[in-house]
């Protein structure tokens, strides 16, 4: 899942700094305690001195091990690798998947996802075989200004072939600091040419809205994450849909991994009466900080129209805060499947080498005080895509043929049945009937009839399944029904 940042870095840095006592600070603290506390000073002093002593002993041991390894190990070692190994070892001891040390690349990716923008060229790309192909050049971006077009194939980046590269790796090479340059070698219609582009800020829209095709009085809004501008985008989208005639809303936070707490607070407050609880955040002291709806949070902008929220097993963190707030404090109906269940709060501590520590600093509770961590938030109305939508992709590295037996073939059989083919073979064994159905599918879709599930056939079947599944959004249909009651 995507990584999250919740509070201002400066605040965390201040808190962490406050916990590091120099000898002088400790002495001042002890003297002040003598004046205020009288006889309790010795207990306080012993506790603090013991804590300092233990910290020094621990750091001394770490330093000794570091020096022993670096100077005496039989092979030369990287200082960076040793330091990062020590850091990661401490983090792993916590058993917390949300606390992690992030390298420079991971840090940049997190910051990009949170800021709602990144440095890049503005080209939407996809993996096509071993090639990286441009789908579209976003208007006004370096890619569009350079004349890049749909179906252009990126052959090289900065003079190096990217054949066989993963989509993520290729994208990471094209992204970078705003103002820096990247050179692309492009193949178009049999010819090859080179373009050097200057990276610019590429905005990422996190909110998309439209009127429902089935009912023009329903505004359908998809919120993909909670980034720095999400609440602002959401407010603008609500206003536009109102002008178009929307009198009720479906808010879709399915597959939304979360993001910034302040954005979730602002959006939640829009739907709640002032004074209603949004969320409770509990730190290590066990005392909850209660966040309530207010004009300050939502900028005096309220959504009073009837609303339904869509969620699923990939709705996590900030999206769960939003859904829980609307359910428990505004009586909004939740439709879909149980949410992911991430009930902790993270913050980041940046370092000068562009790496950072992301650590869990608190847990959050729903308005009624429930901790949903590891449990998820249950919907009021259960609805989901057909089960075939969750089948894993079938490998196209091999051809499936008669006499074979595997889970891949079993999934293929399930897909064919979903597409309406009469197939009683469902166990994963590729028998005569499966061969016959494959031949029929190939005939129906103008493919070479081989009776085997080769790459072309498998990709075609998966494409047809995806197309049919997209029209079988049961949760969306249920949400519409709820609004029409």
Q: Encode pLDDT of 270-319 as tens digits.
A: 999 999 999 999 999 999 999 999 999 999 999 999 999 999 998 999 99
Q: What is the pLDDT of residue 483?
A: 96
331: alpha, beta or left, given left = phi > 0 and alpha = psi -120 to 50? left
Q: How far apart are CA 86 and CA 92, in angstroms?
A: 10
* Contacts for 406 with CB less than 8 Å, ≥ 6 apart: 400, 428
DSSP string computed for 29-74: HHHHHHHHHGGGHHHHHHHHHHHHHHHHHHHHHHHHHHHHHHHHSS
Cα angle at 314 between 312 and 317, to 5 degrees? 105
Instruction: Report the residue count for the chain.
Output: 485
Backbone angles phi, psi at 330, to 5 degrees: -135, 5
Query: Of 410, 391, 408, nearest to 465 (Cα)?
Result: 391
The crossing angle, in degrees rounded to 10, of helices 23-37 and 41-72 is: 170
The helices-and-strands tally (H runs, E runs) of the chain is: 15, 19
pTM of the entire predicted model? 0.75
Query: Of 204, 210, 239, 213, nearest to 222 (Cα)?
Result: 210
DSSP string computed for 85-130: HHHHHHHHTTT-TT-EEE-HHHHHHHHHHHHTEEEE--EEEEEETT
- The parts of the chain modelled with pLDDT lower than 50 are 1-44
Neighbours of 184 (CB within 10 A): 26
The crossing angle, in degrees rounded to 10, of helices 318-330 and 261-271 is: 20
Q: What is the pLDDT of residue 51?
A: 64
Q: How far apart are CA 262 and CA 279, in angstroms?
A: 11
198: enclosing H helix or E strand: strand 191-198
- Residue 275: both structure tokens together: 């004074």
* Cβ atoms 5, 348 nearer than 8 A: yes
Q: What's the Cα-to-Cα distance from 133 to each of 170, 171, 298, 302, 323, rounded to whole Å?
A: 11, 11, 41, 43, 37
Query: Of 415, 448, 447, nearest to 434 (Cα)?
Result: 415
Q: What is the pLDDT of residues 379-390, one digit of tens each?
A: 999 999 999 988
3-state secondary structure of 284: coil
Q: What is the pLDDT of residue 164?
A: 82
Q: How far apart are CA 81 and CA 66, in angstroms?
A: 11
Q: What is the pLDDT of residue 246?
A: 98
Q: What is the pLDDT of residues 248-279, one digit of tens each?
A: 999 999 988 899 999 999 999 999 999 999 99
436: enclosing H helix or E strand: helix 432-444
Q: What is the pLDDT of residue 116?
A: 67
3-state secondary structure of 312: coil
Q: What is the pLDDT of residue 8?
A: 37
3-state secondary structure of 77: coil
Q: What's the Cα-to-Cα distance from 51 to each of 33, 45, 48, 221, 268, rounded to whole Å?
A: 17, 10, 5, 52, 42
Neighbours of 193 (CB within 10 A): 12
Q: What is the pLDDT of residue 305?
A: 98
């Amino acid at each position: 899942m995507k990584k999250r940042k919740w509070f201002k870095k400066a605040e965390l840095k201040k808190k962490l700094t406050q916990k590091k006592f120099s000898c002088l600070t400790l002495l001042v603290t002890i003297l002040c305690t003598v004046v205020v506390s009288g006889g309790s000073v010795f207990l306080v002093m012993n506790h603090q001195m013991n804590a300092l002593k233990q910290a020094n002993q621990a750091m001394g041991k770490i330093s000794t091990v570091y020096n022993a390894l670096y100077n005496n190990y039989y092979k030369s070692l990287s200082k960076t690798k040793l330091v990062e190994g020590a850091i990661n070892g401490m983090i792993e001891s916590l058993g917390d998947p949300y606390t992690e040390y992030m390298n420079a690349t991971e840090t940049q990716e997190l910051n990009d996802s949170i800021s709602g923008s990144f440095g890049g060229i503005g080209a939407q790309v996809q993996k096509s075989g071993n090639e990286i192909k441009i789908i579209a050049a976003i208007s006004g971006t370096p890619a569009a200004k350079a004349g890049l077009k749909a179906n252009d194939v990126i052959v090289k980046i900065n003079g190096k072939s990217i054949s066989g590269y993963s989509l993520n790796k290729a994208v990471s090479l094209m992204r970078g600091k705003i103002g820096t340059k990247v050179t692309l070698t492009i193949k178009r219609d049999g010819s090859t040419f080179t373009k050097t582009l200057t990276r610019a800020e590429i905005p990422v829209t996190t909110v998309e809205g439209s009127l429902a095709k089935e009912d023009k009085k329903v505004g359908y809004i998809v919120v993909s994450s909670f980034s720095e501008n999400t609440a602002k985008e959401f407010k603008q989208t609500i206003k536009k849909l109102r002008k178009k005639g929307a009198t009720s809303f479906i808010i879709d936070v399915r597959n939304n991994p979360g993001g910034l707490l302040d954005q979730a607070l602002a959006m939640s407050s829009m739907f709640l009466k002032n004074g209603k609880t949004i969320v409770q955040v509990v730190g290590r002291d066990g005392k909850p900080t209660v966040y309530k709806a207010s004009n300050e949070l939502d900028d005096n902008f309220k959504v009073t129209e009837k609303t339904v929220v869509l969620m699923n097993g990939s709705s996590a963190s900030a999206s769960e805060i939003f859904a829980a707030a609307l359910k428990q404090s505004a009586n909004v109906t939740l439709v879909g499947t149980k949410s992911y269940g991430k009930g902790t709060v993270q913050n980041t501590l940046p370092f000068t080498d562009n790496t950072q520590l992301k650590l869990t600093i608190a847990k959050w509770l729903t308005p009624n005080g429930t901790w949903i961590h590891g449990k998820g938030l249950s919907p009021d109305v259960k609805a989901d895509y057909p089960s075939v939508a969750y089948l894993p992709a079938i490998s196209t590295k091999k051809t499936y043929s008669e006499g074979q037996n595997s889970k891949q073939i079993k999934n293929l059989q399930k897909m064919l049945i979903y597409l309406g083919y009469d197939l009683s073979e469902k166990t994963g064994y590729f028998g005569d009937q499966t061969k016959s159905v494959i031949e029929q599918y190939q005939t129906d879709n103008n493919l070479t009839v081989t009776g085997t599930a080769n790459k072309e056939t498998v990709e075609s079947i998966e494409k047809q399944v995806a197309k049919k599944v997209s029209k079988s959004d049961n949760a969306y249909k249920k949400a519409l029904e709820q609004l029409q009651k």
